[in-house]
Structure 1
């Protein structure tokens, strides 16, 4: 079973972490400033590649942003590509300069 968790430090930097059967399988590096959530990098452990785990991380990120009323700044190439491919799905959380 896969679960995601948002972990932020006192300086509002952290990760969206993905666990598969209790083991960390991937992460997204993020920071929060005001009403902006910036995502820098997505990483999935090689043994979990090809199982849709990056999409699970993205779903966790977007759910968190919606819950907290945050707009996502997609500096991560994966997230930016997904936002461009599916703009209607993410328009409510996509911060465009």
Structure 2
């Protein structure tokens, strides 16, 4: 079973971690500050690549951002590319950096 858990430290740094049968197979590294969620990196373990797991992490992060009225700073190349490709889908959460 696939499960995504948001795991943060005391400074609000951490990740959306993706687990498959209790084994961590991916992560989306983030931090929270001042009603902003910054995404730094998305990574999937090589044996699990190409199975749509990065998209699952993206969907979970966006859902969390919407539920908590957060704006997303997309420093992660994957997230930034998805936001640019689908601007209408992510317009309400994307904090574009000039």
Report if TM-score (shorter chain) is over 0.5.
yes
Q: Deviations over 1:51-82 (max 9, x none)?
A: 00000110111111111110000000000000
Structure 1: unaligned runs, 5 residues or longer: none
Normalising by structure 1, report the TM-score.
Answer: 0.95
Per the alignment, in what secondary structure is the counterpart of residue 31 of structure 1?
strand
Runs of 4+ in 1 over 3 A off after TM superposition: none
Normalising by structure 2, report the TM-score.
Answer: 0.95
- Does residue 1:78 correspond to 2:60, yes or no? no
1:12 equivalent in structure 2: 12
1:25 equivalent in structure 2: 25
Distance 2:42 2:95 in 1: 18
1:94 equivalent in structure 2: 94
Name whichever of 44-53 and 20-29 sits farther off.
Answer: 20-29
Q: What displacement does 1:40 show?
A: 0.3
- Residues paired across the two proteins, number: 97
Distance 1:20 1:83 in 2: 26
Per the alignment, in what secondary structure is the counterpart of residue 24 of structure 2?
strand
CA RMSD of the aligned region, Å?
A: 0.8
